[in-house]
Structures are given as structure tokens and as C-alpha cells.
Amino acid sequence: MPSHQPTAGHEAIKPEYLSSQPSPMASKLEPNRNKNYDPKKPHITDTPLTRYNWYKHVNWLNVTLIVLVPVYGMIGAFWTPLYWQTAVFSILYYFATGLGITAGYHRLWAHTSYSATWPLRVFLAAVGGGAVEGSVRWWARDHRAHHRYTDTEKDPYSVRKGLLYSHFGWMLMKQNPKRIGRTDISDLNEDPVVVWQHRHYLKVVLFMGLILPTLVSGLVWGDYLGGFVYAGILRIFFIQQATFCVNSLAHWLGDQPFDDRNSPRDHILTALVTLGEGYHNFHHEFPSDYRNAIEWHQYDPTKWFIWTMKQLGLAYDLKTFKQNEIEKGRVQQAQKKLDQKRAKLDWGVPLDQLPVLEWDEYVDQCKNGRGLIAVAGVVHDVTEFISQHPGGKAMIKSGIGKDATSMFNGGVYMHSNGAHNLLSTMRVGVIRGGAEVEIWKRSYAAQSEYLKDGSGHKIVKAGEQVTRIAEPVATSAAA
Ligand SMILES: [Zn+2]
Ligand SMILES: [Zn+2]
């Protein structure tokens, strides 16, 4: 749980802390600062972890809530029979408290991706409290820092520090509050539901996390113990671990269709575990979109819940990014991947880096036994290729020492796009004043800006190789 103080690094904030804040500005910027915390004194995290001081680095409240209580629940489950009513209720309550986090804490309060009427806000703040992951105020503040400073030192749960750290290590060990990036949560301070939940957080957690599920199971079908163990403790454990996956698994597993500069990723497995928060690459690109999944067939029950609330008149102003903007991001990322693929291929030595040969030099070298062929003013060394030429040795040999431009471009055989590409890898020089090279160089210079990929490599489009001449060449027979 991350109750409200992991960033403070000392004991839990007293619920009445909020109202006793010395300065209104301080309360807006540093809502989770423990009053025992003195920024002038060195923080425990400034001291190296040793065999003698390790226990001072541990956030014992969170260890109790995230590890020790679940272990106690699992041991308790051995002696606690599971009634089917309790099992069904535990699952339903699991989804309700999960939606409190995903639809409430995350999409409503951290990202304001939609607006909710006060009955829905009260419901979400209540069931969200039952997931035992801290107050809305604390959670949303850290989450905004996570988006603003993703993968950096100021990211409270940066996956760059390891998968387990991003999952819950950041809560089990004390954090230096100075390290976490600052964010503005003034809007949350104006929401009375958020302020009330923060002030009465411990009561909310106890009631929604344990007392309510115990009472429901006990009063309705007489299973107080099962309600406490299964719908209470174990359900808290599962919903905590599931939602923690948004910080770990969603930054580690899957594809990056929108941007690959940071760690967020899209994966169906993460979506299944996190009530639809698994399309995290999309989410980090378009955080104020109330959807995480944009395709109808993708699993995003949180989106369906928000949409249903809108139909019931409880939610409004659902924000979405324009499809045009979403597709632009997708195309740019696809282009980037394509450019990376292109950069790995051999496109031949660029023309401007090839040595310039006089025509007579070219002819002489062929007479001396080199297998050179000039096509469109570019000289290619085909010696190694003669035996592999699909049209036979005789045909290719007949071009050696000549201007084979028209032979190659339909005079003898209209070579394929693949043949032009292959030919370009055999380039060894250009003929001085070779007409086609000159024409190509001029038009190339004119549009070279458009012919480069993201990393500055030249793009050779199909059918636009230098050895290809646009007009069909008249055959020698027709001439
Ligand atoms: Zn994230
Ligand atoms: Zn988010």
C-alpha cells in the first residue's frame, strides 16, 4: 500500500496532517511530505545500505501491508473453508476495487481524461481505497511524476532500476522525497472527495478493505471468516499485485507501436491482468485519452465501465485524441522501424563516393580482363556474377566494355527491380560525363531532401535506381 507516505520515508502521515499544513503553497507542491521530514538533514537513502542499517532503509508500513498481511492471509486460508458465495463476491469485489484504481485513481484523477458526477467520484474514491494503494492524492501525484519524468531519476517507479523495483521495490524501500519529480496537483486539492478521502484515509482503508467485505459475507450468507480472509486480505493482495503490473509489466513486455524512445509497451497479457491498462505505449503517448485500447476487440474493461457510466449520466466530457493524430504517431513509428531495417541493407556505394573513370580507361580495363559493365554511366564489376547470371554467361559477357544501358533496360531484356538493386551493389565507378549519371545527379540534388530517411540515409525507391531509365529504349532491331 502504499499508504500515503512512501515518498516521505518516515512514519505514516497523520490523517490530520493535511489540515495542519503550514503553507498553502507547500501543501499543493509537496502534499506527501511527512512533518518529521527535515529537508536539511541527510535522508536515510543518502546513506549506503549496510548489514547494520538495512532495516532503516525498509518502509516497514508498506512491507506489512504488501507482504506480511498477504502472507498471514495465505496461511489463514489453509484453515478457512471457501464458500462459493464468498468466492463469487471476492471476484466481484476484486473488479470493483480494481476499477476504483484504473477508472478512478488513474484515468479520472491522475489524468482527468473524463469528468464524473459526485456520486461516481464518491464510489470510485471508496472502492479505490479498498484496493489499499494509498490515497488518491498520493497516488495521482506520483503517477503524474511518472508520466512527466518517465524512465528518469525523477520517475518514482522507473523500470530502468529493474522490473521488481518498478513493481513494488519502490514502495518496500524508503524513497528520498527530494528525488521524485514535482507535479502540480492543485486541481485535486479542489476536489472535496479527494481531500476527504486523503484526510480519512486510514478509516477508508480499514472499512473498504476489510470491514465491508467481512460484513457483507457475514451478514448475507454467514461467512465472516471467509469474507475477512478471501474477500478482504487475499483480494487486496491480488488487486495490489495486478495493478502494480502497470508500472512493471507494462514497461517491460510487448510492442511499441507509437514511440520507442521510452519504456512503455502494449501487451494483451498486461491488459488482461490490469483491467485494460496494458496498452501502455498508447497511454503514455495520449495520456488524457479515456481509452487505453482503441480497437473494439482489445480488452479494456475500464474504458467500457467509463463509457457505461456516461450512458447512465454519471460521467461526462470523455476525452479522446483525434484518430488522425493517433495514426500520425503510428505511421512515424512504423517509418522509424522501416528506416532502421533499410539502414542494415547494402544499397551499393553512393554515387558521389565512387571514383570517376574516363570512357577509354573503362574500355582498357575490360580489355585487360576485368568484367566491367557500364549502365547509365555507372560502372559495375560483374566478374563474380557472370556464372550466376540468370540470362546466361554469354548475354552478360556481351555487355562487358560497352555501354549496356539499353541492353539492360529492355534492348535485350527488361531487367527486374531486383536486378537493378543487385546491380547497384556491384558499382565500382562512374564514367566522366556519363549522360544518365549527370541527369540523375541533377534531379537527385533537387529532391535529395525528400530522399533521405530519419537517420539521413538516402532512400532508393523501387523503379528509381540510377541504372533504370524512364523511357523504354528502342531495340537495336527497331533502330
Ligand atoms: Zn507508465
Ligand atoms: Zn497514466
Give the domain range for residue 362.
351-447
What is the whole-number distance in angstroms between the Cα of residue 150 and the centre of ligand 1?
A: 7
Residue 359 in domain: yes
pLDDT tens digit string along 366-375? Answer: 999 899 999 9
Count of CB atoms within 10 A of residue 347's CB? 16
Q: Rounded to a whole number, what is the largest CA-CA distance in the chain?
A: 103
> Where among 334, 369, 389 does a domain terminate?
334
Ligand minimally distant from the alpha carbon of residue 252: 1
Q: Same domain for 244 and 279? A: yes
Q: Does some domain include residue 28?
A: no
Domain co-membership, 205 together with 291: yes
pLDDT at 44: 74
Residues near 442 by beta carbon (within 8 Å), at least 6 away in sequence = none
Rounded Cα–Cα distance for residues 276 and 267 (Å): 10
Say if 274 falls within a structural domain. yes
Q: Say whether both 314 and 398 belong to one domain.
A: no
Q: Are residues 171 and 300 in the same domain?
A: yes
pLDDT for 433: 75
Whole-angstrom Cα distance, residue 92 to residue 231? 9
Contact 314, 120 (CB under 8 A): yes
What domain count does the chain have? 2
Look-up of cell digits 512527466: 148
Same domain, 376 and 310: no
Long-range contacts of 352-361 (CB under 8 A, 24+ apart): 352/441, 354/378, 354/379, 354/427, 354/428, 354/429, 354/430, 355/428, 355/429, 355/430, 356/429, 356/430, 356/431, 356/432, 357/429, 357/430, 357/431, 357/432, 358/431, 358/432, 359/431, 359/432
Counting as low any pLDDT under 50, the low residues of the chain are 1-33, 473-479
263 touches 147 (CB < 8 A): no
Give residue 437's pLDDT: 66
Say which ligand is closest to the CA of 159.
1
Residue 359 C-alpha from the chain's centroid: 56
Whether 190 and 221 share a structural domain: yes
Ligand 2 centroid distance, CA of 150 (Å): 10
Predicted local confidence at residue 87, as pLDDT: 97
Q: What is the structure's pLDDT at 459?
A: 80
Q: Is residue 148 in some structural domain?
A: yes
Residue for grid cell 512493471: 248
Query: For residue 421, what is the domain's CATH number?
Result: 3.10.120.10
The alpha carbon of 81 and the centre of ligand 1 are apart by a number of angstroms equal to 38
Ligand (nearest to CA of 109): 2
- 135 CB-contact burial (10 Å; exposed 0-12 / middle 13-18 / buried 19+): buried
Residue 146 lies in a domain: yes
Q: Give the residue from 334, 359, 377 where a domain finishes.
A: 334
Last residue of a domain, one of 305, 334, 363: 334
In-domain check, residue 22:
no
- Distance CA(257)–CA(355), nearest Å, equals 42
Same domain, 308 and 382: no
pLDDT at 407: 87
User: Does 233 lie in the same domain as 378?
Assistant: no
| pLDDT the model gives residue 227 | 97
Shared domain check, 179 and 65: yes
Domain for residue 392, yes or no? yes
Q: Both 150 and 199 in a single domain?
A: yes
Residues 288, 260 share a domain: yes
Residue 4 lies in a domain: no
- How many whole angstroms from 75 Cα to the centroid of ligand 1? 33
Distance CA 151, CA 257 (A): 18
